Amino acid sequence: MNSPILPTIQSPADLKKLSIEQLEALAAEVRQTIYDQVSKTGGHLAPNLGVVELTIALHYVFDFGTDRLLFDVGHQCYPHKLLTGRLPLLTKLRTREGMAGFPEPRESAYDLFSVGHAGTGISTAIGMARGDSINGEAFDPENNPTGRRVVTIIGDASIVNGVAMEGLNNAGTLKRQFLVVLNDNGMSIAKPQGAIAAYFDRVRTSRTYRQMKRAAKDVVAYLPGGSIIGEMYHRTGEMMKAAIAEDAWFEKFGLLTVGPVDGHDMRSLIEMLIEVRNFDRPMVLHVHTIKGKGYEHCEGDATTFHSPKPFVVQGCRVELKSSGRSFTSAFGDAMVDLMERDDQVVCATAAMPDGTGIVKVLPKFPTRAWDTGICESHAMDMMAGLAKTGLKPFFAVYSTFVQRAFDQVFQEVALQGLPVRICLDRAGLVGGDGAVHHGFCDISILRVFPNAALLAAMDEPSLRAGLEFMRNYDAGFSVIRYPRDSVSDRLVNDDCPPFELGKARALQIEDKPDVALLAYGVMAVGALDAAAQLNGDYRVNVYDARFAKPVDIELINDLVQRGVPILTIEDHALTGGFGACVIDACHAAGLPTSGIKCLGIPERWIYQDSRAKQLAEVGLDAPSIARTVREWLDTAPVVPQVVKTGVKTSV
């Protein structure tokens, strides 16, 4: 039995000592290693299984200790990390002690950007290409053959993202080597949407493409090396352009196009990369890969296995670990209910039907629900157009992605006074995806708009009640936020009152309270747990704030006038967050704020780990909340009562 190769790979330099056969054996090891680990801990699986051979070939041909490698859609970086000395970190994947699930410069000099959002790789690569040229470090086949080359890998359908298109448009103006590797696996997170995706499907499946691919391979066989790639292009280019419209499409941007080539044929990949690496103008190498390659259940259901929870394979059956009913699932069911009851309700998501729960809606309402693909800005504008026609649009999007549509919220939604409904999944700390995906600034960026209503859900009944409020809120746009977590059943048997604009919900009331915990969203559940830990020492009132805009100023006024200290609690940045909304509302109403303390995410990056550990790290788990209350009340002076006859409420 041959000894394993992967443990011997300390850096990409070790790859260059291997034969093609050994590289193919290494690919099988890398694929199995990633599969085994993700089955235990969860993580991004199918996208990484699909790029194993491509990643090995790139590191074999280029020297990314000097050359630049930039990722777009960073969740396809696991093979890259294993080839750059991080195998020991894999066993603690997506934890603080282990390997991040996205490129992370803190881990390795081979990772140039911490990146988790689609469409950015081409533009940042152009920046580095221009910078290297200015610094005299750029590769030039004649004047600087040892200079830096630039390669960017873009995939999972993010080529259709608006930022990627802007990058392609600018890449064509470069006067130097620049390689865009299009990892075309026919997928994004889910099935890709739109005309360009359909176009690539036609290219991959056309009989003409298969014929021209064979013809091009025959021509290349007669060429001695990469130094005459231009001759190869001129011999075959017109023929290829006449046969494959895709070439003409990319060449409108000024980029020569080669491919599609088989992304799992190691020998052909290496030969092609050797051919193109010294070309001195911008180029697209179109590589066709299979998402989930090597495992039938991953290939057959690449959406489920894009980023699965831990799982076990039992014969022909795959069991995913269950951690309880998620907010995502609860939202999907609630949207089905809304759309069944109100035929004016429509909804959309941007390439995240599974991740947002819209997957439950799409087959039931095919003419009223859409997946727009990876294009949040377009989706938000489409929602504005739908609202303008009198419909009730709901846009389901991750909190970390809503800022990509901030300008559209401003110009096409808020400025027009349109009642678009924005549903923010993955709000707050997100666990293993880490800093690139935390939803920590949605309140601070959206609260600035007139007539916006900002809500948060603490559990499934409150999520449904909040969505019902939004369905009938027409004064402006509305937003509801909820985390990547399981819904609590703590209050499942209690009546959940309807949402009323700017009104909090009392969860626990004591006579003459020592402190009031005013918590936003799921933090209300933690506040109840903290109150239980404080029982016997302090009398604690607990409120589900429900609204960050407008806040319940009448409740706050009552507490302040009675001299009750208020602790605001939120799974959001302190800067501009819910607590800041409360302080600002008090200032506007002429209320003192000396008796108000704010808990939230501090102004520093919180890296990958479990959500529970992240909450504990920033002092937002129940024991930390209870400890904060004890320390505050034990050391703070008594808050004086405020005598006021009224309070301004037009905040």
Written as six digits, the tokens of 98 are 């282990």
Which residue matches tokens 């998620």?
Answer: 326
Amino acid at 41: T
Taken in order 92, 97, 98, 104, is the CA torsion positive or negative?
A: positive
Q: Which of 176, 277, 291, 611 is catalytic?
A: 291
- The pairing of beta strand 566-573 with beta strand 478-481: unpaired
Distance of CA 167 to the CA centre of its chain: 20
Out of 275, 376, 412, 460, the active site residue is 376
| Residue 291 annotated in active site | yes
Mind spelling out the 3-state secondary structure of 605-637?
Answer: CCCCCCHHHHHHHCCCCHHHHHHHHHHHHHHCC
Phi, psi of 624 (to 5 degrees): -70, -40
Distance CA 343, CA 346 (A): 8
- 498: which 2 tokens? 């309807």
CB 30 within 8 A of CB 6: yes
Among the listed residues 517, 490, 464, the one whose alpha carbon sits nearest the alpha carbon of residue 633 = 517
Return the ∠ at Cα 320 (arms to 319 and 324), rounded to 5°.
Answer: 125
d(CA 412, CA 394): 15
Chain mean position to CA 487: 21
**Catalytic annotation present for 404:** yes
**345-362: b (≥16 Cβ within 10 Å) or e:** bbbbbbbbbbbbbbbbbb
User: Helix, strand or coil for residue 486?
Assistant: strand
Nearest one of 470, 432, 449 to 331, comparing CA atoms: 470
Q: Which residues of 593-623 are buried (b: 16+ CB within 10 A; e: fewer)?
A: bebbbbbbbeeeebbbbebeebbebbbbbbe
Q: What is the DSSP letter of 424?
A: E
Catalytic residue, candidates 404, 447, 484, 505 = 404
DSSP three-state, residue 232: helix
Structure tokens of 420? 């678009």
Q: Which of 29, 23, 85 is nearest to 60 (CA)?
A: 23
Determine which helix (DSSP H) or strand (DSSP E) holds 248, and give its type and residue range.
helix 245-251
Q: Taking the C-alpha atoms of 43, 46, 49 and 51 in order, what is their torsion angle to the nearest 10 degrees?
A: -110
Across 263-316, the runs of DSSP E, i.e. the strands, are 282-288, 311-314
In whole angstroms, what is the distance from residue 23 CA to residue 6 CA?
10
| Residues 447, 464: Cα–Cα separation, whole Å | 22
- Distance CA(16)–CA(227), nearest Å, equals 21
> Using an 8 Å Cβ cutoff, are 332 and 353 in contact?
no
Six-digit token pair at 354? 């599974």
What's the length of the chain? 651
Maximum alpha-carbon separation in the chain: 92
546-582 CB burial, b ≥16 within 10 A, e <16:
bbbbbbbbebbbebbeeebbbbbbbbbbbebbbbbbb
Helix (H) or strand (E) run with residue 192 in it = none
What single DSSP character describes residue 499?
A: P
Residues recognised as catalytic: 291, 376, 404
